[in-house]
Amino acid sequence: MKKLFLISFSFICMLFNAGTVFAQGRALSRGVKAGEAAAKGSSAVLRRMSVATPRVPAVPSGLKVSASVPTPAVPRVVSTGLPAVTPGLDALRIRQLEKSVQALQQENLQLKATLNHIGSNPSLRRATFQAVATTNEPTNPFSGTAFRTVYNGEEEVFGVVAAHAIASSARDKALNRHFTVGIFDGEKMVELPAEIVQISSPSMLDIALVKFSPEAEKLFQPLRISDVPVKFGDVLSSQGFAQYKDVNIPDRHITKVTPLSVRTTIPFAREDRPGLCGSAVVNADQELVGIHTGSSYDRQDAQFDVGYATNASFLNTLVEAYHNGGEATFPLVLNGKNIIPLNVDEYISYVSFHNAEGKQVWQQGFDNKFSYSKVQEMLDIYSPRYITVTVRRAAWSPENPEVLVENRTSRDLTKTTYKYDFQTEEIVSVTKAKPKGRR
């Protein structure tokens, strides 16, 4: 009777101290063994209860152990294969390890690009490239397109990437002025150097011109820029890289055309789109009509997402600027009129409307991408007499010529403000920024 009382008492202790049981991290099988030992005699139970660190109490004979009682998991230690970093590990060894990891990452990118084709178009594949590294380190995925054009009677081959893919600071894991491209040579991807030789603003045209080595040019089958303007309802397709996979996206139906861009449907999974910017958008004749620069999400249904592409005709403007010291202009077109000339590297940061008396009736600042549709929509509503447009210039950073900046500061001396009269159809004033302290 005494033995039964002690065993019962031990079991009651288990119920009131469940938290202690879980805190031990013991396997349930050990608890069962302890119970079996306790059943052999009360002295064994007393000895267990006198131990400073509690153990799992005895289980009375005949009592079923619930399978729902969890067994605390023991963390599994997985070896990384790398030595632990200690104060004695010198900086040189750490750098060697970093380089080994980077080499493996680049090898992995090559393997992914070579083995993963999603509806790839073999003929278009030879006109595309992938940014795989910048300043000798792996970069985020970006696409690029090779095209051919004629300048001063000579055919030339260039590449194009999205300007927003260029780093805006040394910390960005994005393209630098000099970077490494992956190009298909048959089914194998090879890596070769490339350089961005002419930029436009990420907030305006959002494209940048790339020059390759003669060795790289031989691997391409560059696309021809289409002479035929696209229109609403045309069906396009695109070819590039998404998440390091070689992809072709058919059935991109044009939903809108503006003087700056083409808007299309984009029947491609949202989670797979990163890396598409810079890819080729072509017509049924496989001619280049646009450069993919992004997409927007519809809150209700992904099938209503919009894909954006800069009109490929602006590539000729970039080529002209490349041969002319960075100078080449295109018009800002509003209400069907050429309002002001913009240099290829300029972008619009502010717009305002004024009535005939000079009173401001609407204004809008653009901290990021200029919205042509927004301005045209407001023009249709307000029908102003005057419009003022403030423009600034993007440029390679003076502190780090490998990164691109847009100079959105009060010290920016590239800022110019135009005032245009819709009635007389002429620019009535041009105001340029002056250094502080000067009038």
Write the CA distances from 404 to 74, 156, 321, 400, integer angstroms.
50, 25, 17, 9
Looking at the predicted structure, is the pLDDT value of residue 90 above 80? no
Averaged pLDDT of the chain: 79
Length of the chain: 439
| Class of the CATH-defined domain 93-221 | mainly beta
Residue 349: pLDDT band with limits 50, 70, 90: very high
Spatial separation of the C-alpha atoms in residues 275 and 272, rounded to whole Å: 8
Which is higher by pLDDT, 19 or 349?
A: 349
Closest CA to 386 of 424, 421, 351: 421
Can you tell me the mean pLDDT for 312-332? Answer: 98
Query: Is 50 exceeded by the pLDDT of residue 384?
Result: yes
Place of tokens 């993963």: 116
Confidence bin at 185 (pLDDT 50/70/90): confident
Residue 250, SS3?
A: strand
Write the Ramachandran bin of 186: left for phi over 0, alpha for psi from -120 to 50, otherwise beta: left
Mean pLDDT of 317-333: 98
Q: Which of 213, 129, 203, 219 is nearest to 166 (CA)?
A: 203
Q: How far apart are CA 288 and CA 310, in angstroms?
A: 11
- Long-range contact pairs involving 29-37 (C-beta distance under 8 Å, separation at least 24): 30/55, 30/56, 31/55, 31/56, 31/57, 31/59, 32/59, 32/65, 34/58, 35/59, 35/60
Winning range, highest mean pLDDT, from 45-54, 122-131, 168-177, 395-404? 395-404
Residue 100 confidence (pLDDT): 63
Distance CA(333)–CA(100), nearest Å, equals 52
- The confidence score (pLDDT) of residue 408 equals 85
pLDDT the model gives residue 11? 42
Identify any residues that bridge with 256 across adjacent strands, giving them in sequence order. Answer: 263
Of 115-119, 120-124, 131-135, 238-242, the poorest mean pLDDT is in 115-119
CATH architecture of 235-314: Beta Barrel (2.40)
**The two domains 93-221 and 235-314 share their CATH topology (first three levels equal):** yes
Indicate the domain borders of the chain: 1-73, 93-221, 235-314, 329-432
Q: What is the pTM of this model?
A: 0.72
CA 23 from centre of chain = 45
Rounded mean pLDDT of 402-413? 87
Q: Is the per-residue pLDDT at 1 higher than 60?
A: no
Give the pLDDT score at 34: 41
Provide the CB-side half-sphere exposure for 183 (13 A, CA). Answer: 23
Q: Count the neighbouring beta carbons within 10 Å of the beta carbon of residue 301.
A: 8
Secondary structure class of 429 (helix, strand, coil): strand
Cβ–Cβ < 8 Å for 175, 142: yes
Give the tens place of pLDDT for each residue, 93-115: 766 666 665 555 545 544 444 44
pLDDT at 249 over 70: yes
Residue 216: other Cβ atoms inside 10 A: 21
Q: Quick: pLDDT tens for 219-236.
A: 999 999 999 999 999 999
Q: Is the pLDDT of residue 147 over 80?
A: yes
pLDDT attached to residue 63:
44
Bridge partners (DSSP) of residue 8 are: none
pLDDT value for 414: 86
pLDDT bin (cut points 50, 70, 90) of residue 344 is very high
Alpha-carbon 67 to chain mean position? 49
By percentage, how much of the chain surpasses pLDDT 90?
54
pLDDT of 394 over the 90 cut: yes
Closest by alpha carbon to 418, among 392, 383, 379? 392
- Which of these ranges, 52-56, 405-409, 423-427, 434-438, has the smallest mean pLDDT? 52-56
| Distance in angstroms (rounded) separating the CA atoms of residues 169 and 154 | 36
Whole-number pLDDT of residue 302: 73
